[in-house]
Amino acid sequence: MGPRSRLFVCFLLWGSTELCSPQPFWDDETERFRPSKPPAVMVECQEAQLVVTVDKDLFGTGKLIRPADLTLGPHNCEPLASADTDGVVRFAVGLHECGNILQVTDNALVYSTFLPHNPRPAGNLSILRTNRAEVPIECHYPRQGNVSSWAIQPTWVPFRTTVFSEEKLVFSLRLMEENWSAEKMTPTFQLGDRAHLQAQVHTGSHVPLRLFVDHCVATLTPDWSTSPYHTIVDFHGCLVDGLTDASSAFKAPRPRPEILQFTVDVFHFANDSRNMIYITCHLKVTPVDRVPDQLNKACSFRKSSNRWSPVEGPTDICRCCSKGRCGISGRSMRLSHREGRPVPRSRRHVTEEADVTVGPLIFLRKMNDRGAEGPTSSPPLVMLGLGLATVMTLTLAAIVLGLTGRLRAAAHPVCPVSASQ
């Protein structure tokens, strides 16, 4: 039996959100409950692959999209070949293909990707009659455990197996509610809100470990190597996003050594109409008894004291955050990954690392922003206009009076009178 799966598909049109799932409605004529039209995007989460079926009438307007305008994932995988008469476009890709992102939660394995619709002008035309869109897709596979009645095996295993077992660490990055009590179920925000992020490593039977957030970047897609991007954490644990007008910071103290929580003031990229971002973080762990240092730290900038402070460890480990160079290599995740330097095998069982992504974070635009700005800005404009009109009226009146006086003087000249003795 294949794994059970459930699907979350959210259909995003620029500036609005809509769930791509069938919604029931009430039929007044027949007075009975009927399901509405099938969704425009359907996903089947199979055991080893996901199958995406897209209705060519994607927007429900009767105007069909072209299959060539659809791709899947960061690697832009193309749809399956189909006849022009088919009313749907299909994709079938493996769970680990097309740049699919794997996230591990307490209860499920989550494979996420997205379906972009990028229309291009037909022929020699330079206009478009359909919108760009992006459909985030997720497949949830419940994590299942096995219970056996066989005899207990000896605890001793060869050294190589021990090292391999210790390396099976599960990293996760999740959006949390404001009180940190549970995972946030709706990833929607408005500008001015604060995102609560929780990084965690599930150690299992591993020795106690302490988790650190080494680097974090925000991008418009799950692929962290794209542009534009915004660096949130850099220099091996410095939360640099808090240096600006934001109040982003790590939460201290930690709830447990294997958990690190932090907040980020939400934002969007200027000059881009997409209303979503993804956050990718490079996580790593060290033995819990190791004292934090410049390469393994969690530092926040406190505006009240105008200095950096660590979640734990000596205060001076954060001084390098101001210089932008910590330890041997204070480089960003993007540079270090592109250089492709492998982690030495002798250190892999001591310090484990992984890249995890959370998203999309969806930003809802306030529809009354312009209406709110209108009444507050119009009275000053009215007063300014009245002031300018008054000044111009007084100036014209002064000019007219001056010209009138001169004309009267010219019409009645005053003759000089000489006094005789």
Quote the longest CA-to-CA distance of the chain: 151
Give me the tens of pLDDT residue by residue for the chain, a chain 421 residues long.
444 443 444 433 333 333 344 444 444 444 444 455 678 899 999 988 999 999 988 888 777 888 989 999 999 999 998 777 778 999 999 998 999 998 888 788 889 999 998 888 766 554 466 677 888 999 998 876 555 555 544 444 443 333 333 456 889 999 999 999 999 988 888 888 899 999 999 877 778 899 999 999 999 999 889 989 999 999 999 999 988 778 899 999 999 999 999 999 988 888 788 888 999 999 999 999 999 999 999 999 998 889 999 999 999 999 999 988 897 644 444 444 444 433 333 333 334 789 999 988 988 765 444 444 444 444 455 455 565 666 576 677 767 676 666 666 555 554 444 444 3
Q: Which amino acid is at 216?
A: C
For the chain, what are the domain ranges?
41-121+129-142, 170-327+350-363
Mind listing the pLDDT tens digit for each residue in 125-184? 544 666 778 889 999 988 765 555 555 444 444 433 333 334 568 899 999 999 999 999
The CATH number given to 170-327+350-363 is: 2.60.40.4100
DSSP states along 247-310: --EE-SS-SSTTEEEEEEE----TT----EEEEEEEEEEEETTSPPBTTB--EEEETTTTEEEE
Cα–Cα distances (Å) from 305 to 119, 240, 297, 308, in that order, read 51, 16, 19, 8
The alpha carbons of the chain give a radius of gyration, in whole angstroms, of: 32
Bridge partners, 102 (sequence order): 111
Q: Given its phi and psi angles, is residue 192 left (phi above 0), alpha (psi -120 to 50 degrees) or beta?
A: left
Distance (Å, whole) CA 299 – CA 237: 6
Question: In what side-by-side order are the strands of the sheet with 49-55?
Answer: 41-45, 49-55, 88-94
Instruction: Give me 191's structure tokens.
Output: 């500008």
The CATH number given to 41-121+129-142 is: 2.60.40.3210
Q: What are the residue ranges of helices labelled H in 340-368?
A: none
Taking the alpha carbons at both ends of the chain, their separation in whole angstroms is 139
Q: Given its phi and psi angles, is residue 377 left (phi above 0), alpha (psi -120 to 50 degrees) or beta?
A: alpha
Global pTM reads 0.49
